[in-house]
A and B are shown apart, each in its own frame.
Chain A
């Protein structure tokens, strides 16, 4: 585990609006769980406006890259197209609120977009862009990353999901659990 202790957010450091945004992200994670998707929820906030909200849609799209963050990035593109504004400027002033630490892919995507800041809930022990492999070491991002807010709740949602089996896995790949 790398850089796991130096960016843990203290609950008191968060403003009421940041806590509110995180609460909204959690509602999307819960929505994912209800739809048999890995429960990760995410919103993007730009100038105090929620410009993207989403959850994991991997099973629905049969595309393993459709994580909550990637869906939100597409939302921002659509938001900018509608308003005829340049997405680059928007991304660089976006705060990302996500219930689980972005994976290596999402971390790289968000760093490349020069996202202003990321606040996440629990660590991602399987794919985390800090925990499993620290993407910041190779991409030198400008993004400020903090995590640990409501981590237990975010983790409980994941555990709830992994108690069931992945509905999209082929029959020969489904693990048989020892009970």
Chain B
């Protein structure tokens, strides 16, 4: 999106590497609309088309294909091919009370959109096959074309990832662990709520993301791994940030804040304020490396709203092995963007 002045590709081309972040899309946005076979037949007298449409709609309404027009070039869409054999189509229609004399009995199979198309380019493809209803969604169009963020927003995303990179480097050196860093960010306050770094040399489940999630819990008077007293700095609770990482505040304080909104924890059992935070709701996570399946699902449980990562991982659960965030049957889904400061993350 925004070309970087610093780095060039080694070979191939003289183009600048763009600091492009890409949305990791669910299949229904990244792939063509799935198709399904249906039976169609010609209306014998074109003057009867509207009559035939009304008749077929009452005899055989197809709930799952309501996004399709019922007629095209004098041909009537009857029903999905899965219903019966081609030779039995008219018999079937008669049983349903449809007047088959309206049709020529030249039943054919046609391919049509199985589901309503979500994007303009999907719509254009399936609409050629069979006319289709479509409601354009501006947000989705911007998401798939990677035009969701303006320059200022991109700048902020980069700063957040830079902090995650600093965390990865500092912790990696200090604790002799893998250089993986994560931060949880409140986009409303423009503030770093919690950080996490890899501690797998102590505990195989202490991935940077898991540590960051637990540090968010610390800000809410919880936490399983680390307990820290609430420290209030500039009206924000900074207990999600281990003391070691004070240097980040000095380095980035000009552009963003550190800490989370103070919430009503005085009465532990009851959250009075609607503003008070609940898990990672409305927060973003920035992680240097693609989170694994465990961490990806941990972020689902934590209700994170967006995840940004730099470089893909062999064990990644957001796009490499699977897209955990798009599993339909789960109760929460989040958006994922990859490639943010990718080269810097690769260099870690």
Q: Is A105 a contact partner of B297 (Cβ separation < 8 A)? A: yes
Instruction: Give the CA-CA distance A170 to B269 in the complex, in Å.
Output: 11
Interface positions of B from 247 to 306, Cβ below 8 Å from A: 269, 271-272, 274, 276, 278-279, 292-295, 297-298, 300-303
Instruction: Give the CA-CA distance A167 to B270 in the complex, in Å.
Output: 8
Q: Is B303 a contact partner of A64 (Cβ separation < 8 A)? A: yes
Contacts A105-B294, A132-B329 given; indicate if A63 touches B222 (C-beta within 8 A). yes
Contacts of A132 in B (CB 8 A): 327, 329-330
Task: Name which residue of chain A comes closest to B295, CB basis.
Answer: A105
Q: Is A103 a contact partner of B297 (Cβ separation < 8 A)? A: yes
Interface size of A by CB at 8 A reads 38
Q: Is B330 a contact partner of A64 (Cβ separation < 8 A)? A: no
Interface size of B by CB at 8 A reads 40
Contact with A along B305-339 (1 / 0, CB 8 A): 00000000000010001101001011100000000
Contacts A87-B204, A133-B322 given; indicate if A112 touches B294 (C-beta within 8 A). yes
Contacts of A61 in B (CB 8 A): 214, 217, 222-224
Interface stretch (choices A5-13, A40-48, A70-78, A149-157): A70-78
Q: Is B321 a contact partner of A139 (Cβ separation < 8 A)? A: yes
A83 within 8 A of B: no
Contacts of B271 in A (CB 8 A): 168, 170-171
Interface positions of A from 53 to 105, Cβ below 8 Å from B: 57, 60-66, 70-71, 73-74, 77, 87-88, 91, 103-105
Interface residues of chain A: helix, strand, loop or mixed (majority): helix
Contacts of B217 in A (CB 8 A): 61-63
Contact with B along A162-176 (1 / 0, CB 8 A): 000001111111000
Q: Is A64 a contact partner of B279 (Cβ separation < 8 A)? A: yes
Q: How far is the CB of A71 from chain B (nearest CB, A)?
A: 8
Q: How far is the CB of B261 from chain A (nearest CB, A)?
A: 13
Interface residues of chain B: helix, strand, loop or mixed (majority): loop
Q: Is A172 a contact partner of B204 (Cβ separation < 8 A)? A: no
Contacts A57-B224, A74-B224 given; indicate if A138 touches B293 (C-beta within 8 A). yes
Instruction: Give the CA-CA distance A61 to B276 in the complex, in Å.
Output: 16
Q: Is A135 a contact partner of B293 (Cβ separation < 8 A)? A: yes
Q: Is B292 a contact partner of A65 (Cβ separation < 8 A)? A: no
The residue from B216, B222, B272 contacting A60, defined by CB atoms under 8 A apart: B222
Contacts of B301 in A (CB 8 A): 64-65, 103, 105, 127
Q: How far is the CB of A131 from chain B (nearest CB, A)?
A: 9
Q: Is A62 a contact partner of B222 (Cβ separation < 8 A)? A: yes
Instruction: Give the CA-CA distance A108 to B317 in the complex, in Å.
Output: 10
Contacts of A88 in B (CB 8 A): 204
Instruction: Give the CA-CA distance A61 to B293 in the complex, in Å.
Output: 22
Interface positions of A from 96 to 136, Cβ below 8 Å from B: 103-106, 108-109, 112-113, 126-127, 132-133, 135
B210 within 8 A of A: yes
